[in-house]
C-alpha cells in the first residue's frame, strides 16, 4: 500500500491511496471461507458449497467491504503519523470510477486542512465588571426581609402601603383573576386614587393604561397573555375581598437567628454585610459569564484566518443522514462558521497552554462536590473510601462526566483569561451592569 499527499494550497490537499491485491486478498479469502461454512444455499449441505458459487454470490460485496476496511485503517494511520490537522473527514473524490474487476485500486480523498494562526489574548482590552451591592440595594433587601417575616393586620379600608386581595374582571378580555397586590405596585395616579379609601366588598372600576410601571404586571395581576399585556388599554373591575397592612418585622436577634442561625449575625450592620457578601457572590457568577462571552467575542473578532470554505460546504452536504443541496450546505456552513472558528481558537489555546482537564482533576472535583453536599446534611467528615466510592459511581455516568468536564473546562478557560487577557476592571451597581451588559 502506498499513500501520497498533494497540496493544492495551504488549506486543501488530495490524498492518493494505492491498494494492491496483497493488502486485502487474505482477508477476503478468510471471510469467504467463513461464508462457505455457514451459508444456506438450497441444494447444498452447509459447509459443502462450492467456493466458486460462494464467490459468485458474495465475492464482490466482501471485496468492497474488506478493501474499505483496509482503506480506512490506512487513512487513520497516515493522518495520525503525519500529524495532519484536518477539518471534517476525508471526502472520496473518485469512488464512482473504481473498477472492482481489477486487482489493484487507486483511491483519492480531498482533505480540508486546519489553518495556521496565532491567538493573542493580550490584544484588545476587555471590560471586567465588578458588581457591588450598593446602599440602596442593601436597604431594599432589608426592607424585603422585614416584610417577608412581618405579620399581616386585617383592615376594612384601603390606605397607602396596604396589600389588597381581590378579583379583576373584564368582559372585553374575558378576565376573571384573583390576585393580591400592594398599593405600592400601582403606578397610575387615577387608579391609586380610586383604591385609596375603598372598603372590603367594594368594586372599583378603572382603566388599565398606565396602571403599572411595567406592562408585564398586567400579565402577573390580571392574568392576560404575554402578548396582550403590552399596551393593554381596557376597563377592568376589581372587587376587594381582603385588605391587610403588613407590619414589618423588627430587626432583632430573633430575626437574625431565624435567617442565619444562632448568633451568626448580631446587628443590622452585620445583616447588611452578610447580604452584601451573598449578593456579590452571586453577581460574580454573572460577571464571570459576561467576561467569558466578551473575551470569546474579542478573540473571534481579532483572530484572523481563512478556512477551506468550499471543502467544508461539500463535507457538510455529505456528512448528515440526508444529503443536502448546495444551497442548504452553504446556509448550514454560514450558520456554523463562527462556532467552528471558535473551536479552532479554543483548541489552540488549550493545547498551547495545557488547559485540558485530566481524569485526576475530574475525580478530585467530584470528591470536593460530594463533600460539600454531605456537609449540607451534617456529614462533615466522610472517609476517603466513602468519597472514592461515590465518585466512582458519578464518573461511571457518561452524561455526568460530560457535564462536569464542560463545567471544569469552562472554569479553566475563564481563569486563564483572568490571568492573561488584557482586562479593564469597572466597578458598577447591579442595575448599571444590567443596563450596560444586556441592553
Shared domain for 107 and 213, answered yes or no, is: no
- Domain annotation covers residue 125: no
Q: Let me know whether 271 and 227 are in one domain.
A: no
Last residue of a domain, one of 247, 274, 296: 247
Work out the percent of the chain whose per-residue pLDDT is above 90: 79
Asked if the structure places residue 106 within a domain, the reply is yes
Would you state the pLDDT for residue 439?
Answer: 64
pLDDT range class, residue 6, cuts 50, 70, 90 = very high
Instruction: Express each pLDDT in 266-284 by its tens digit.
Output: 999 999 999 999 999 999 9
Return left, alpha or beta for 161; rule: phi > 0 is left, psi -120 to 50 is alpha, else beta.
left
Instruction: List helix spans (H) across 303-381.
Output: 309-319, 326-353, 359-376
313 pLDDT more than 80:
yes
Domain boundaries, position 275: 266-305+354-438
Average pLDDT over residues 292-319: 95
CA atoms lying within 13 Å on the CB side of residue 243:
20
- Do 83 and 8 lie in one domain? The reply is yes
Cα 204 from Cα 199, distance rounded (Å): 10
Supply the Cα-derived Rg of the chain in whole angstroms. 35
Beta-carbon-side half-sphere exposure of residue 266 (alpha carbons within 13 Å): 2
Closest CA to 209 of 237, 185, 233: 233
Average pLDDT over residues 59-85: 93
Q: List C-alpha distances in Å: 64 to 22, 33, 37.
A: 15, 16, 21
Answer with the one of 57, 91, 112 that is the final residue of a domain.
Answer: 112
Confidence at residue 438, expressed as pLDDT on a 0 to 100 scale: 77
- Same domain, yes or no, for 220 and 282? no
Placement of cell 376597563 in the chain: 235
The answer on 276 and 242 residing in a single domain is no
Task: Read off the pTM.
Answer: 0.75
* For residue 252, pLDDT beyond 90: yes
Cell numbers standing for residue 278: 451573598
Say if residue 46's pLDDT is above 80.
no
pLDDT of residue 153: 94
Query: Predicted confidence band at 105 (pLDDT cuts at 50, 70, 90)?
Result: very high
pLDDT in tens, 325-345: 999 999 999 999 999 999 999
Is residue 48 over pLDDT 80?
A: no
Give Cβ neighbours of residue 81 (< 8 Å, ≥ 6 apart).
none
Q: Do 70 and 196 sit in the same domain of this protein?
A: no
pLDDT, residue 94, reads 77
**Average pLDDT of the chain?**
92
- Residues 298, 418, single domain; the answer is yes
d(C-alpha 239, C-alpha 179), whole Å: 11
Residue 54 forms beta bridges with which residues? none
74 in a structural domain: yes
What confidence score (pLDDT) does residue 378 get? Answer: 81
**Is residue 368 in a domain?**
yes
Q: For the chain, how many structural domains are there in total?
A: 3
Residues 221 and 288 in one domain: no
Query: Are 300 and 403 in the same domain?
Result: yes
Q: Provide the terminal-to-terminal Cα distance of the chain, rounded to the nearest Å.
A: 61
Q: How many Cβ atoms sit within 10 Å of the Cβ of residue 307?
A: 18
Q: Are residues 240 and 301 in the same domain?
A: no
Last residue of a domain, one of 55, 86, 112: 112
Is 371 found in the same domain as 275? yes
In a domain, 232, yes or no: yes
Q: Say if residue 42's pLDDT is above 80.
A: no
CATH of the domain at 95: 3.30.70.1050
Query: Is the distance from CB of 103 to CB of 20 less than 8 angstroms?
Result: yes
- Residue 90 inside a domain? The answer is yes
The cell numbers describing 13, all together, are: 490537499
Q: Considering the domain boundaries, does residue 318 fall inside one?
A: no
In a domain, 259, yes or no: no
Across residues 169-174, what is the average pLDDT? 92
Residue 379 has pLDDT above 90, yes or no: no
| Residue 160 sits in the same domain as residue 230 | yes
pLDDT score of 290: 95
CATH code of the domain containing 160: 3.10.50
Question: Would you say residue 287 has pLDDT above 90?
Answer: yes
Amino acid at each position: 500500500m502506498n499513500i501520497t499527499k498533494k497540496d493544492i494550497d495551504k488549506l486543501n490537499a488530495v490524498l492518493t491511496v494505492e491498494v494492491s491485491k496483497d493488502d486485502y486478498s487474505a482477508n477476503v479469502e478468510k471471510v469467504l471461507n467463513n461464508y462457505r461454512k455457514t451459508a444456506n444455499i438450497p441444494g447444498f449441505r452447509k459447509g459443502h458449497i462450492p467456493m466458486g458459487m460462494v464467490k459468485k454470490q458474495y465475492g464482490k460485496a466482501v471485496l468492497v467491504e474488506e478493501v474499505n476496511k483496509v482503506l480506512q485503517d490506512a487513512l487513520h494511520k497516515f493522518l495520525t503519523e503525519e500529524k495532519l490537522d484536518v477539518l471534517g473527514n476525508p471526502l472520496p473524490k473518485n469512488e464512482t470510477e473504481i473498477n472492482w474487476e481489477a486487482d489493484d485500486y487507486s483511491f483519492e480523498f480531498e482533505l480540508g486542512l486546519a489553518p495556521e494562526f496565532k491567538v493573542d489574548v493580550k490584544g484588545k482590552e476587555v471590560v471586567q465588571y465588578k458588581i457591588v451591592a450598593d446602599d440602596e440595594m442593601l436597604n431594599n433587601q432589608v426592607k424585603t426581609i422585614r416584610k417577608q417575616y412581618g405579620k399581616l393586620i386585617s383592615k376594612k379600608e384601603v390606605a397607602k402601603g396596604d396589600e389588597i386581595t381581590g378579583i379583576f374582571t373584564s368582559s372585553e378580555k374575558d378576565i376573571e383573576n384573583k390576585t393580591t397586590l400592594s398599593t405600592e405596585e400601582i403606578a397610575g395616579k387615577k387608579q391609586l386614587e380610586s383604591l385609596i379609601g375603598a372598603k372590603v366588598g367594594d368594586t372599583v372600576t378603572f382603566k388599565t393604561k398606565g396602571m403599572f410601571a411595567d406592562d408585564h404586571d398586567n400579565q402577573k395581576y390580571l392574568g392576560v397573555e404575554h402578548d396582550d399585556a403590552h399596551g393593554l388599554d381596557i376597563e377592568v373591575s376589581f372587587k376587594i375581598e381582603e385588605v391587610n397592612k403588613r407590619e414589618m418585622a423588627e430587626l432583632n436577634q430573633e430575626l437574625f437567628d431565624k435567617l442565619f442561625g444562632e448568633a451568626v449575625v448580631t446587628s443590622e450592620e452585620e445583616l447588611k454585610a452578610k447580604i452584601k457578601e451573598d449578593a456579590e457572590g452571586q453577581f460574580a457568577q454573572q460577571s464571570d459569564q459576561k467576561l467569558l462571552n466578551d473575551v470569546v467575542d474579542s478573540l473571534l473578532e481579532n483572530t484572523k484566518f481563512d478556512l477551506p470554505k468550499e471543502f467544508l460546504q461539500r463535507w457538510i452536504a455529505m456528512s448528515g443522514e440526508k444529503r443536502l443541496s448546495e444551497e442548504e450546505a452553504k446556509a448550514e456552513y454560514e450558520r456554523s462558521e463562527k462556532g467552528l472558528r471558535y473551536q479552532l481558537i479554543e483548541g489552540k489555546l488549550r493545547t498551547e497552554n495545557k488547559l485540558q482537564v485530566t481524569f485526576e482533576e475530574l475525580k478530585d472535583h467530584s470528591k470536593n462536590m460530594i463533600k460539600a453536599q454531605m456537609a449540607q446534611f451534617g456529614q462533615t467528615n466522610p472517609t476517603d473510601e466513602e468519597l472514592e466510592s461515590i465518585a466512582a459511581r458519578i464518573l461511571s455516568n457518561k452524561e455526568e462526566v460530560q457535564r462536569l468536564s464542560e463545567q471544569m473546562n469552562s472554569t479553566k478557560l475563564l481563569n486563564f483569561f483572568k490571568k492573561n487577557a488584557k482586562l479593564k476592571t469597572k466597578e458598577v451597581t447591579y442595575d448599571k451592569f444590567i443596563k450596560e451588559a444586556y441592553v
